[in-house]
Structure 1
Amino acid sequence: MPTLALAGGTSPGLGRAIVSTLLSSSNHHQWDVVILSRNSRAPLWLRAIDQDGARTHIRPVDYLSVESLTTALKGIHTVISVTSAMDGMKAQIQINLVKAAVQAACKRFAPSRWGFGPRGWEDVKNAKESIEGIREICMKHKDKIECANFNQGYFMNYIGLGMYPAPSEVDEETSLYRLKVGGGYMAGEDQASEGLLRQGDLKDGSGAFLIGLKNTIAELPTKDDGSWPRITMTTIGDTARFVVASLELPKWKEEMTMVGETLTMGELLAHAEAVTGSKLQVDLVKIAELQKRLDELAEDDFLPRIWTEFKIANTWDLEDVGVLRPVVNQLCPAVKPIGVREYMEKFWRGA
């Protein structure tokens, strides 16, 4: 039985989605999951879907120690990283994981490089800094380990934030019950967001990005000629389904890009207005205004800088930046991702 090591796999977003998808998969291979984490305690969602730890095992690691990682990766076939690091250590963590995976004789590795297409990781400053040195070390060891980059564009779930009331605190027993009923997700915003935090930059404070359905507002980037740029969006759940299906492929491509739906910002707005039945208040922003905003932000103002850089990249309307190619879609045609309109209708009705 092959084993997947998921670095950062206790995270409530992509980590949870990949683990829950893998445990419910009907593929002929039944993969076990080793979760690498700084903390050995299983989160509630994991206890809800694998109460006895029959198929998941948490191995505490020091991500800054290659020795610690090598020990944890013994016997692992594939290593996928969904780690995030707000302290500037993200690239170093991925480099350490590659070194450890090679020493532990793992067969495949995918770094934590979720989001932009391959050009975006070179052309967007914040993105480039977070992957510095990773490709070089993967190329250095290409005869020992197969490396691939999974990219999904923007998480569609950001447009689902703020539709539901902020989740209220409940006791652990109640939370565990709700998570069991929902297959690892609580009904409401948890299902809509699939673990994303309310971190988007819309001025209503909803935590959404680009479109705020509840308060019918939007801030959308446009090209300098006033036309709408395109954007690729994929839900966290569909990203996980593509990744799990990819485990069965005999060979990975270097760029494993996937697409939920690619549409224009104008189409995104039209869907929102049709689903809500309301005319949205829209702020249109061009690259000059966004660049001015970025210049005025402090270097350590992390999230506002990221959102602004994302919108600047959107105005470029370039393939392999914010517009992705359906590589994994073609390799794994059994996965049928949800589109933006369908996503909005599903969760707007629920809210």
Structure 2
Amino acid sequence: MKIAIAGGTGQVAQEVINALVATQRYELLILSRSTNKQTPVVSGIVYRAVAYHDKQDLIEALRGVHTVLSFIQILSDDKQMAQKNLIDAAVQAGVKRFAPSEYGRRVQLDFHMSWWNGKIEIRQYLAEINRKETMLEYTLFQPGLFLEYLAFPHKTAKYLQPLQTVFDFDKCRAIVVQGHQDAVMSLTSVRDLAEIIAKTVELKGQWPVTFGVKANRLTFHDIVAIGERVRGRLFDVEHVEVEDLEAGNLKTSWSLEATHAAVSTEEAEKMLQQVAIGILLSCLGNAWDVGEEANKLFPEHAFVKAEDYLSAVWMNKP
């Protein structure tokens, strides 16, 4: 089976490529806007530079491909033309399956996380092209928040960089919405997501439109309690009011400091407070309580348990 990975140089994409290579069952085509001499030579992998604005180029690249996994960055493409062109090309090239650039929370209006509006646009685009008949089978992989982010600033995955969240295990602190300590967060290791995707590409039958991957379902209270156990000290928990968050105000003594490779430092600084606010507000609507499609389809899969992982990461750390 031939699988194309679009945006194949991204962190999550590379974790998935590793898992696919490990199976030794797939022929992989890695699509990116450019290739260079540093590209590793790996058996079973072909690298190809494509122009996402050139639909014909994409059609030619996708001929003979069974499944496309997209990891295209949505932040720098307001109209999401790269993914839309990729979808159109996939249909015309005869691709059977497509997974858009999701890899986060479940399907819901992202009005609290406007930087993810591109995900909504692509969900709607895929739904529309399949409205009358199935033109392209697709699924939305949704693992919740990556467990590795709670290791910040320590990197524990091969490619995924840690990001600071409202749960700061390093400085033993957390931000919780007043009266909502039971808000739910799904936490899944990027390794688990990658291995599940590697299994899903050869799944028989129709893909479900939403594909939740839920390794750990924990409340904010649970996560803080785990933090206090593995760090051996009480967390400084700051409570914020819904009204302040909805007004765009994060009234805490600290905010997020991490940046992301997909945006500039200046853009990141502007986004960081809104990211924290968005995570907190969206949790109130159970946006991070993802589905269990993967758990039901692959009951034999041994997911990484949050407390085991975090205990290992933070053991003997000051």
TM-score (norm 2): 0.85
Residue of structure 2 equivalent to 1:5: 4
For residues 68 and 221 of structure 1, the distance between their equivalents in structure 2, rounded to whole angstroms, comes to: 48
Q: Deviations over 1:147-179 (max 9, x none)?
A: 1111111111111111x4xxxxxxxxxxxxxxx
Cα distance in 2 between the residues matched to 1:111 and 1:144: 15
- 1:76-101 CA distances to partner (integer Å, 9 max, x unpaired)? 10001111133234732221111010
Report the equivalent of 1:15. 13
Letter in 2 for 1:5: A
Match for residue 109 of structure 1 among 80, 98, 101: 98
CA–CA distance in 2 between the matches of 1:280 and 1:43?
44
Structure 1 residues 31 and 129, CA gap change in structure 2 (3 angstroms): closer
The SS at the match of 1:18 is helix
In structure 2, the partner of 1:218 is: 174
Matches within 5 A, 1:73-84: 73-84=62-73
The separation in 2 between residues aligned to 1:233 and 1:275, in whole angstroms, is: 17
Question: What does the per-residue CA deviation read over 1:219-277, in whole Å, with 9 as the maximum and x for residues that have no partner?
Answer: 2334xx35421111111111111111111211211111110111100000000110010
Percent identical across equivalent pairs? 23
Q: Deviations over 1:64-85 (max 9, x none)?
A: 2222211211111000111113
Equivalents in 1 of 2:313, 2:221: separation in Å? 21
Maintained 8 Å contact 1:194/1:236: no
* Whole-angstrom distance in 2 between the partners of 1:135 and 1:119: 12
Partner of 2:254: none
* Distance in 2 (alpha carbons) for counterparts of 1:217 and 1:295: 15
The answer to whether structure 1 residue 288 and structure 2 residue 243 are counterparts is yes
Counterpart among 325, 328, 331 of residue 291 in structure 2: 325
1:274 alignment counterpart:
229
Distance 2:313 2:215 in 1: 17
Task: Decide which of 249, 261, 276 is 2:203's aligned counterpart.
Answer: 249
Cα offset, 1:335, TM superposition: 2.0
**Residues 1:212 and 1:158: Cα distance change in structure 2 (over 3 Å):** same
Whether the aligned pair in 2 keeps the contact of 1:9 and 1:36 (CA below 8 Å) is yes
8 Å CA contact 1:229–1:264 kept in 2: the answer is: yes
**Is 1:334–2:300 an aligned residue pair?**
yes
Match of 2:36 in 1: 41
**1:89 & 1:283 partners in 2: Cα distance?**
35
| Distance verdict in 2 for CA 1:322–1:226, change over 3 Å | closer
- Aligned to 1:256, the other structure's residue is in SS state strand
Q: For residues 176 and 250 of structure 2, what CA distance do their matches in structure 1 show?
A: 19
Does the alignment pair 1:234 with 2:225? no
Shift of 1:116: 1.2
Which letter does structure 1 place at the counterpart of 2:148? N
Change (3 A) 1:152 1:3: same
**How far apart, in 2, do the equivalents of 1:333 and 1:117 lie?**
20
Q: Report the equivalent of 1:313.
A: 282
**Residues 186-225 of structure 1: pairs in structure 2 closer than 5 A:** 189=155, 192-197=156-161, 200=163, 208-222=164-178, 225=179
Taking a change above 3 Å as real, the CA distance of residues 258 and 120 of structure 1, as seen in their structure-2 partners, is: farther
Asked if residue 157 in structure 1 is aligned to residue 121 in structure 2, the reply is: no
Q: Is the 8 A contact 2:112 2:278 kept in 1?
A: no
Check conservation: 2:7, 2:31, Cα contact below 8 A.
Answer: yes
- Over residues 12-50 of structure 1, what are the superposed CA-to-partner deviations in whole Å (9 max), with x where a residue is unaligned? x21111111111126xxx111111111213767xx3xxx
Alignment size in residue pairs: 299
Q: Residue 293 of structure 1 aligns to a residue in which SS? A: coil
**Aligned partner letter, 2:5:** L
SS of the counterpart of 2:20? helix
Gap change, CA 1:43 and 1:280, over 3 Å in 2: farther
Letter in 1 for 2:27: D
Superposition map of 1:50-199 within 5 A: 52-89=41-78, 91-121=80-110, 124-141=113-130, 142-162=133-153, 164=154, 189=155, 192-197=156-161
State the Cα distance separating 1:293 from its structure 2 match: 2.9
> Aligned AA for 2:302?
K
**Shift of residue 283 of structure 1?**
1.4
* SS across alignment from 1:335: coil
Aligned CA RMSD, in angstroms, stands at 2.6
The more displaced of 87-96 and 151-160 is: 87-96
Query: Which structure 1 residue ranges, 5 or more long, are not aligned?
Result: 165-188, 201-207
